[in-house]
């Protein structure tokens, strides 16, 4: 499945080294995109300005509850929460209610599902 | 004899401890601007004498989970104790331009949109913690929305008891019948949280659902 760097919007294949180690722009946050949605996403993000991309990256980190950039690359499920442009969001409620984690961490070349962050964070 | 007395004391002490009411978690869920916080405020004013949160005509005023602990309500000689959980409105699309049209600056509107998105994710994460849920719907709006159907369908799948509140019955366009027709198998009560209409019946219904 393709991935898109949240910072510079470059697309990468699933097995690309950049997804494992970080994008060439320095970004370590990626959107995970289904192949069938790739063209639509490319068209959607083509018109974003550099400052809009920067804002989206900041907003996504806020939504994730991350204060600082993680050391390891982080892949987000774009199918569930889609940022169209700063301030415009689309949420897939069916997926969200499935309680599937929104965030996938890349660690030593493997995807690890970050269950603690996705499920445990806000429990009393 | 001494042993018997001590044993009686232990039984009474621990019996009293375990007879203490368990505080069930009662969640308020629904689409934005249905009146969840207005209802939460009404419940809190009635039983605690203080409000719970701020309300606004601009959608997504509540963007964080709010919990009011230990509310004891009494109705028909019965008593119910619960923690009330007010949640952000659940939406499929959040667009800052809607908030700009409502009078916010672009900067404020974008911040509100981001926080509202996080709020939706948090509200859904909290759902599994709920013992019972009040789904607050705006009775002037079409009940067959994706948000309403998804919330109620998921509560049913999780076997969480549901009370549907058809709010804003004081408005002319309100139709409780439409909501009842959309969700015929549920307890439903028409109220106006703002005007306090039918609150007594609402509390009676709450006892039936949150047992």
Which of B18 and A79 is assigned the larger pLDDT?
A: A79
How many CB pairs (< 8 A) connect A and B? 72
Q: For residue A26, name the pLDDT band (cuts at 50, 70, 90).
A: confident
Pairing of strands B162-167, B93-95: unpaired
Treating both helix axes as pointing N-terminal to C-terminal, what angle do A50-64 and B106-126 enclose, rounded to 10 degrees? 30
Asked if B131 has any chain A CB less than 8 Å from its own CB, the reply is no
Contact A122 B122 (CB under 8 A): yes
Q: Kindly report whether the global pTM for this prediction surpasses the value 0.90.
A: no
pLDDT score recorded for residue B73: 92
pLDDT score recorded for residue B124: 93
What are the sequence ranges of the domains in chain A?
Answer: 3-120
- Compute how many other C-beta atoms are within 10 angstroms of the C-beta atom of residue A47: 8
Asked if A101 has any chain B CB less than 8 Å from its own CB, the reply is no
Query: How far apart are alpha carbons B80 and B21 in whole angstroms?
Result: 8
Would you give the distance in Å from CA B177 to the centre of its chain?
A: 21
Average pLDDT, stretch A41-69? 78
CA A17 to chain B, closest CA, distance in angstroms equals 30
How is chain A split among helix, strand and coil, in percent rounded to 5? 35, 25, 40
Asked if B124 has any chain A CB less than 8 Å from its own CB, the reply is yes
pLDDT score recorded for residue A57: 81
Query: How far apart are alpha carbons A100 and A119 in whole angstroms?
Result: 9
Which of A83 and B102 is assigned the larger pLDDT?
A: B102
If you average pLDDT over every residue of chain A, what do you get? 73
Which of A108 and A49 is assigned the larger pLDDT?
A: A49
For the domain bounded by B22-209, which CATH number is listed?
3.40.50.300
pLDDT score recorded for residue B6: 58
**Which of A86, A93, A118 is facing B146, going by the closest CB pair?**
A93
* Mean pLDDT of successive 10-residue stretches along chain B, which has 211 residues: 55 47 85 97 94 91 93 87 95 94 95 93 92 97 94 93 97 96 95 96 88 66
Contact B94 A96 (CB under 8 A): no
Which of B34 and A84 is assigned the larger pLDDT?
A: B34
Instruction: Record the tokens describing residue B95, joined without a space.
Output: 């667009």
Average pLDDT, stretch A5-11? 87
pLDDT score recorded for residue B161: 94
pLDDT score recorded for residue B5: 55
H/E stretch holding A77 reads strand A74-77
């Amino acid at each position: 499945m393709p991935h898109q760097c949240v910072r510079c919007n470059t697309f990468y294949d699933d097995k690309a080294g950049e997804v494992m180690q970080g994008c060439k722009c320095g970004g370590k946050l990626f959107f995970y995109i289904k192949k069938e949605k790739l063209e639509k996403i490319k068209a959607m993000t083509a018109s974003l300005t550099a400052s809009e991309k920067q804002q989206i990256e900041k907003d996504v980190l806020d939504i994730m509850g991350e204060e600082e950039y993680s050391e390891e690359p982080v892949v987000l499920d774009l199918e569930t929460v889609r940022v169209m442009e700063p301030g415009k969001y689309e949420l897939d409620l069916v997926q969200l209610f499935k309680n599937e984690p929104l965030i996938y961490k890349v660690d030593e070349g493997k995807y690890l599902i970050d269950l603690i962050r996705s499920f445990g964070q806000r429990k009393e | 004899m001494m042993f018997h007395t001590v044993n009686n004391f232990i039984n009474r002490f621990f019996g009293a401890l375990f007879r203490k009411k368990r505080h069930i978690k009662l969640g308020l869920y629904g689409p934005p601007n249905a009146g969840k916080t207005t209802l939460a405020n009404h419940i809190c004013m009635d039983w605690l004498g203080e409000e719970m949160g701020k309300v606004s005509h601009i959608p997504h005023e509540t963007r964080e989970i709010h919990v009011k602990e230990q509310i004891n309500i009494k109705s028909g000689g019965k008593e119910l104790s619960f923690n009330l959980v007010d949640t952000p409105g659940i939406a499929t699309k959040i667009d800052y331009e809607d908030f700009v049209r409502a009078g916010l600056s672009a900067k404020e509107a974008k911040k509100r949109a981001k926080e509202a998105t996080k709020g939706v994710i948090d509200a859904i994460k909290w759902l599994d913690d709920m013992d019972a849920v009040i789904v607050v719907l705006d009775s002037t709006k079409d009940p067959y929305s994706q948000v309403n159907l998804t919330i109620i369908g998921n509560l049913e799948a999780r076997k969480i008891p549901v009370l549907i509140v058809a709010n804003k019955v004081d408005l002319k366009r309100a139709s409780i019948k439409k909501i009842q027709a959309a969700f015929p198998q549920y307890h439903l009560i028409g109220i106006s949280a703002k005007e306090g209409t039918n609150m007594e019946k609402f509390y009676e219904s709450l006892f039936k659902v949150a047992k």
